[in-house]
Amino acid sequence: MPTAASKRWLILIAVMLAFVPIVIDMTILHIAVPSLTLALGASGAQVLWIIDIYPLLMAGLLVPMGTLADRVGHRRILLYGLSVFWVASLLAAFAPTPAMLIGARVLLALGGAMIMPCVLGIIRRTFEDEKERALALGLWGTVG
């Protein structure tokens, strides 16, 4: 049976794994732009929206989603965010048009904005000792 200390570190690993797709999604698209442009027949303006809509919306939604998570519960919003992110990832992967990909990226931003503040809130509540919290936040920071 895991001790309380080991449970804290398992929780940290779990929330870091939840955070990894958000970080990857912020940068991975830059690699795929040439083939994506050809496959979808996207214009220059559409490519810019495909790339920029995710960080733009996520930045705007972080504070409202963090406030919502503080009121409703970090675990609940984290699970909803992971669900939205998963569905949006499937939609993005199979998007036949630039417009559908942009829409999927909007949903990805919503899911990501739900996940990110919850990860930090869970770390803050899980690690009450200041030194452990600093270490946990440092480890989290290495992921993103």
Provide the residue range defining the domain that includes 10: 4-143
6-45 pLDDT, tens digit each: 799 999 999 999 999 988 888 888 888 888 889 999 999 9
What are the pLDDT digits (tens) for 84-139? 999 999 999 999 999 999 999 999 999 999 999 999 999 999 999 899 999 999 99
pLDDT higher than threshold 70 for residue 2: no
Domains: count for the chain: 1
The whole-model pTM stands at 0.89
Give the chain as a DSSP string: ---HHHHHHHHHHHHHHHHHHHHHHHHHHHHHHHHHHHHHT--HHHHHHHHHHHHHHHHHHHHHHHHHHHHH-HHHHHHHHHHHHHHHHHHHHT--SHHHHHHHHHHHHHHHHHHHHHHHHHHHHH--SHHHHHHHHHHHHHH-
